[in-house]
Structure 1
Amino acid sequence: MSKRYLTQAELQAEAKKIMEGEDTDDEEIQLSGSENEEDIVEVEDVDSDDGNSEGENIPTSQSNQSANQSGRRAISVLDSDDESDDNLPLSSIADHLRYIIVPKNPLMKGKNGHRWTTIEPHRQKRVPTQNIIHFVPGSKGPASLLLTPVSCFKHFFTDNILDKIVLHTNEQIVVKSASYAEKTLTISKTCKEEVIALIGLLIFSGAMKNNHLNAKKMFDPIISGNIYRATMSCDRFLFLLDCLRFDDKQTRIERKKLDPFAPIRDIWDEFIAICRSSYTPSSYTTLDEQLLSFRGRCAFRMFIPNKPAKYGIKLVMLCDVPTKYMIDAEPYLGKGTKTNGLPLSTYYIKKLTMSIHGSNRNVTMDNWFTSISVADEILQAPYKLTLVGTVRKNKAEIPPGNVGNSSTPARNIYFLF
């Protein structure tokens, strides 16, 4: 059966049936969504810390931001076997936000006794001060004085970061060049200016959508222009990429026993610290996952068949909604992820929102992160954050099966609590 959107008349009829406690035909109210359920399978070191599936699409960052103004957490219960709500089209979500079905019974209990109400309480008091928040997003500190692209680049890629890259890359160049009979400039040592040029070419290729091309096509003036050739030769570009290193290879084995991310950990931590300290987020943020395309050898590489890249490293990121600025990020390391006894999703929520704790900002997240217990916890000190998200229907707090006195199973019903 092909899926379609409900018309306004059909939505009103279904709402009336639920209010009156009548049965409905499940097949007549199928929502438009993705028919393909997406799974994530780790190539190596598969790990499931808290029983929650890792199979999520990269979610959108738009949600019900207005719920924060009333100090409540808005939860959407999705009646779907998909592991993520990201497959649901935005147009379908917008349609259902306009037609919120209120069950006949105003009070319901979850499978574990959690109490729900479908009636918004009458409020005669003014909105609490802590729920009236307004942060103007923008750069702060030294970053607010940067005016040119070059100065912005050097702010995030500091001399300390570049010196480490040059040092360890030259160490690898010495090893690689030993196997060449003829010593040419192509296999010579690099310098800070050349590393800046290399990183600049990689950023430029992404901006121009050339990063899917092989090196020969990137350096072909007919296909990609003359910018690549004017910077360095194709052979030099490939040689530098092959020798690019970010840590001391002599001590890497010992460090990897404690941290699988050791080959780039020092530079990563310094870069993320600059990201956090250089920007003031707005009142609304989003916690998301992104698959960074990568097909090299890596113990925590992921395989997501429904993604264009399919293979890559999964990064969990906290981003600002209006500007899409990355505030904080943390890689998923499989078994190497140290959560200090917390469920994996809860660990990422608490760690990545650390820079905005106590600010009463709103965080939007998908159903892999969202749970009732987390929503209750981060509302309190020291976190003091509000949450907008969706909850999987198999959670213990969700009312089982029927809604109110109706025999109709719960579908896309939005609760406020």
Structure 2
Amino acid sequence: MANDAPGPSKKIRFCDTDFESTGLRWLDEIENEMLTAIESDEDSASESIYEPSEHDTDTEQEGEEEEFANTDEQEDSEDYEEPVNQASKKSRNFYGKNRFKWSSESFTSRSRTPKHNIVLRLPTLRGSASLLGHEAQPFAVWNLLITDDMLKTILHWTNEKIKKQRANLKNSSRSEHQDLDIVELKAFIGLLFYSAIFVSNHENISRIFATDGTGREIFRCVMSKQRFAFLLACLRFDNSLDRNIRKQENPLAAISELFDQFIKNCQTLYSLGVNCCIDEMLVSFRGRCRFKMYMPNKPCKYGIKIVCMTDARTHYFFNGYIYTGKDSDGFGLEKHLKKFNKPTQSVLRLVQPIAGSNRNITADNWFTSLELVEQLKNRKLTYVGTVKKNKKEIPPDFLPKKTEKLVRMELYLVLLKT
């Protein structure tokens, strides 16, 4: 039998007549030898099952003396599990400068949508906006955002200013100095829209009303140049008599009433989608204003900063405020919330209307912080955003290194070889 057993000296050719029978016989002999070896190993293992391990490294034997102090009770237990390798467990976490822990393992995926991502109110028109239909006229939409009550407020205080100006004029009976009505006010606002469309915001009025072919004919068809300039100088939005008193608490007192009403109309007419965006914008302005900003990275550089929250899909303006100074970000917030940094106060102020709706907020690294994420979580909101690399929560392993580009190139070359 020894001579018939397969081995390096025993060979068979494929063309032999007994090739198949010989191969099957060799295979049966190999299986029998393997079974005999396994049975002998089990017998030897049963005799020395409680023999201590030969591995004595710090990672595998750390704390083993305490765990096996009472060996008789633990050896008899059928539910005993071998301790986890501590080195592999520690390698799954990263720590920032303030010991904030990050996990390298992703969360287990679920078949169901998590509860904190379920939004019950889908994006849709609300209130009187839902009655407009799919073929709504632009003026009808504009009239929902700028209501007649707002126009009456502008009309009242503008006429009050016109009366004061007319009292100081020698010829007060001229048509350019008469009171304003609601129809002419809408026409005047329409001309202001046209000046923005024609990019004529900083253009001289004489050039806009020029009759030599270089002006805008629609302006001359609506009103005269003198009337337009007079209304532009007398346009007012609030009571100027108590404005200084209101400015002590609110620097935006001259326009805050109408601006708040506009924000309220925006929130009443539309329900936001699942994702919202928060960012700042600079409205070009070079007039006299104490909270005028200079931002060199913006195209217009000088203007009034507005922090706003919009719908990520439709770009609908839902909430916002005008930045009026150092402490204006937390205006209207509760006292205990003003201890957070200014960007956090800004986001918390804007998300007040959607708190508890399970929506997602997206912003840039100016707003992102750990305290903001925790506060939004308490309000049942999620957050997505970039993080500045100087944050204390960022582990050093996440920061770019000089050798990072080289390592990536080596990995790429290895993939090419394989």
TM-score bucket (shorter structure): 0.5 to 0.7
Whether contact under 8 Å (1:136, 1:282) holds in the other structure is yes
Pick from 126, 134, 157 the counterpart of residue 146 of structure 2.
157
Which has the larger share of helix? Answer: 2
Say which SS state the counterpart of residue 347 (structure 1) adopts.
helix
Say which SS state the counterpart of residue 374 (structure 2) adopts.
helix
Structure 1: gaps spanning 5 or more residues: 1-104, 411-417
State the shift of 1:329 in Å: 0.9
- In structure 2, the residue matched to 1:197 is 187
Whether contact under 8 Å (1:246, 1:267) holds in the other structure is yes
The alpha-carbon distance between structure 1 residues 328 and 171, as it changes in their structure 2 partners (threshold 3 A), is same
The alpha-carbon distance between structure 1 residues 127 and 237, as it changes in their structure 2 partners (threshold 3 A), is same
Whether contact under 8 Å (2:116, 2:381) holds in the other structure is no
Distance 2:263 2:123 in 1: 18
Distance 2:185 2:237 in 1: 12
Distance 1:246 1:348 in 2: 26
Deviations for 1:308-341, whole angstroms, at most 9, x for unmatched residues? 3222111110111222110011111114523542
Q: How many residues align structurally?
A: 304
The alpha-carbon distance between structure 1 residues 377 and 336, as it changes in their structure 2 partners (threshold 3 A), is closer
Pick from 210, 223, 228 the counterpart of residue 232 of structure 1.
223
Say which SS state the counterpart of residue 263 (structure 1) adopts.
coil
State the shift of 1:215 in Å: 2.3
Structure 1 residue identity aligned to 2:272: P
- In structure 2, the residue matched to 1:277 is 268
Pick from 252, 261, 270 the counterpart of residue 261 of structure 1.
252
The alpha-carbon distance between structure 1 residues 344 and 133, as it changes in their structure 2 partners (threshold 3 A), is same
Pick from 350, 371, 376 the counterpart of residue 352 of structure 1.
350
State the shift of 1:216 in Å: 2.8
State the shift of 1:243 in Å: 0.8
Whether contact under 8 Å (2:389, 2:399) holds in the other structure is no
Say which SS state the counterpart of residue 241 (structure 2) adopts.
coil
Is the radius of gyration larger for structure 1 or structure 2? 2
Q: Which structure has more RCO (C-alpha within 8 Å, separation ≥ 6)?
A: 1
Question: When the two structures are superposed, what TM-score results if normalisation uses the length of structure 1?
Answer: 0.67
State the shift of 1:346 in Å: 1.6
Whether contact under 8 Å (2:275, 2:359) holds in the other structure is yes
Pick from 371, 374, 380 the counterpart of residue 372 of structure 2.
374
1:16-165 superposed matches below 5 A: 106-123=92-109, 126-133=112-119, 136-146=122-132, 147-165=136-154
Distance 2:401 2:319 in 1: 45
Structure 1 residue identity aligned to 2:217: N
State the shift of 1:275 in Å: 0.8
> Are residue 218 (structure 1) and residue 208 (structure 2) matched?
yes
Structure 2: gaps spanning 5 or more residues: 1-90, 406-418
Pick from 380, 384, 408 the counterpart of residue 384 of structure 1.
380
Whether contact under 8 Å (2:358, 2:380) holds in the other structure is yes
Structure 1 residue identity aligned to 2:392: A
Distance 2:268 2:399 in 1: 49
Distance 2:215 2:270 in 1: 34
Deviations for 1:54-100, whole angstroms, at most 9, x for unmatched residues? xxxxxxxxxxxxxxxxxxxxxxxxxxxxxxxxxxxxxxxxxxxxxxx
Identity of paired residues, percent? Answer: 39
The alpha-carbon distance between structure 1 residues 230 and 138, as it changes in their structure 2 partners (threshold 3 A), is farther
